[in-house]
Amino acid sequence: MTASTSAPHNHRYDGLILGASLATLDCVDGYGEIADAALAWRDGRIAHIGPRAALDAEPADLAATVIHADGWITPGLIDCHTHLVFAGDRAREFELRLQGASYEAIARAGGGIVSSVRATREASEDELLRQSLPRARALLADGATSLEIKSGYGLDFDNERKMLRVARRIGEILGVRVRTTYLGAHALPPEYSDRADAYIDAVCEWMPRLHAEALIDAVDAFCEGIGFSPAQTRRVFETARALGLPVKLHADQLSDLGGGALAAAFDGLSADHVEHTSLDSVRAMAEHGTVAVLLPGAFHVLRETKLPPLQAFREHGVAMAVATDCNPGTSPLLSLRQAMQLSCTHFRLTPEEALRGATVHAARALGLVDAGVLRVGARADFVQWDIGHPAELCYWLGGRLARRVVADGRVLVE
């Protein structure tokens, strides 16, 4: 595999990659394969896709940079659910859980999310960035070109703002697309103990102020016995709707509180986790186009056994996305490809479903209209993999398969 850049010249394309097989995913079924392909881009957008043999001129005359490749090229992966900005870790809590303590019991005893809140509050913005960047880099190195990053370990105005600012800075520093999600309603901070409704007032009051600083792309909440009630979640969503912000929800992870239907009622982009989601919620999600985001990392780490209603999602045409849920408690997972692998082993997704889940459907879960697919006009976000078939993306556990990661036509990893 070689890359060559020619002298300035009036080229049709900025870049052209030749010889790999493409999984365009620009189709309803299958990978949308184009063997021995040519993929070209200009101004950060895909400008040409087709078989190499059909190129109408010499590659060097067509593009300033010509790359000869092998293996497969897929759309850049999209990690549509992460909490990767946090300080410290919860390895000790992992040990406690292995000894039998439940996630809920640890949370009720003041550990869990609140312990990450303590560490995150103590870190300066620069320190939080320093600790979080390597996690984003790891996701990028394994093929992610777009990341969603949630707040939710600050739980007061200044610290939620600090987290969202760090998320934005990660996007700028790494050149990946970052969509920020305001998750003020993640847990009850200690200063509001027994005053959940007053805390929700505060979360709603901070929202327009953070939005005024362009720090929020979407709004999320943790609707759960150890989180917030459906009524409290609804108040957060109503505030989001008044600001024109899309919503998504940590829904039905540990119990069925009707989270899927609640997200759908607000035309939510996604309902995430969804292990306990009911058939009524599945129907509502189908009706409103709400994506089911599967988080097999949390399922795996918490040793869950209740499977999401996968067949009902398929039968009702609810799109299933796959994400890492990268977070210090339930899913310290730094590879979206590994999440795809876990979605196949635990949820029996097909490798094709898993790849769509981490590209096309993940894009929908973030409201991205021009990513997750290889199509003329879409963003020039793609990954060249050292594999002989796309199923290998879900087959190998660990290792390094991404040979080259390109976002907006810029090579980020090679």
Q: Is 83 annotated as a binding residue?
A: yes
Residues 6+ apart with CB under 8 A from 365: 80, 81, 148, 248, 269, 270, 272, 291, 293, 319, 321, 323
Of 116 and 281, which CB lies nearer to ligand NIG in the complex structure?
Answer: 116
DSSP letters spanning 21-87: EEE---SSSS--EESSEEEEEETTEEEEEEEGGG-SS-HHHHEEEEEE--SEEEEPEEE-------S
Q: Is 389 annotated as a binding residue?
A: no
Shortest Å, Cβ 250 to ligand NIG: 5
Binding site for ligand NIG (CB under 6 A): 83, 112-113, 116, 222, 250, 253, 298, 325, 327-331
Shortest Å, Cβ 325 to ligand NIG: 5
Instruction: Give the whole-angstrom CA distance, residue 293 versus residue 243.
Output: 24
Of 90 and 165, which CB lies nearer to ligand NIG in the complex structure?
Answer: 90
Of 19 and 332, which CB lies nearer to ligand NIG in the complex structure?
Answer: 332
Specify the 3-state DSSP secondary structure of 311. Answer: helix
Of 74 and 330, which CB lies nearer to ligand NIG in the complex structure?
Answer: 330
Specify the 3-state DSSP secondary structure of 246. Answer: coil
Q: Is 346 annotated as a binding residue?
A: no
325 near Fe ion (CB under 5 A): yes
Q: Is 327 annotated as a binding residue?
A: yes
252 near Fe ion (CB under 5 A): no
Of 64 and 113, which CB lies nearer to ligand NIG in the complex structure?
Answer: 113
144 pairs with which residues across the strands? 77
The first and second tokens of residue 253, run together, are: 């992870």
Shortest Å, Cβ 83 to Fe ion: 6
Find out whether 353 and 314 touch, Cβ atoms under 8 Å.
Answer: no
Q: What is the DSSP letter of 183?
A: E
Rg (CA), the chain: 21
Q: What is the DSSP letter of 187?
A: S
Of 325 and 353, which CB lies nearer to Fe ion in the complex structure?
Answer: 325
Shortest Å, Cβ 103 to ligand NIG: 7
Instruction: Give the whole-angstrom CA distance, residue 67 versus residue 52.
Output: 12
Find out whether 77 and 407 touch, Cβ atoms under 8 Å.
Answer: no
Shortest Å, Cβ 185 to ligand NIG: 11
Q: Is 10 annotated as a binding residue?
A: no
Shortest Å, Cβ 302 to Fe ion: 12
The Cα angle at residue 268 between residues 86 and 105, in degrees rounded to 5 = 45
Residues that bind Fe ion (CB under 5 A): 325
**Binding site per annotation, positions for N-formimidoyl-L-glutamate:** 153, 327, 329
Q: List, as residue ranges, the binding site for Fe(3+).
A: 81, 83, 250, 325
Which residues belong to the annotated binding site for 4-imidazolone-5-propanoate? 90, 153, 186, 253, 330
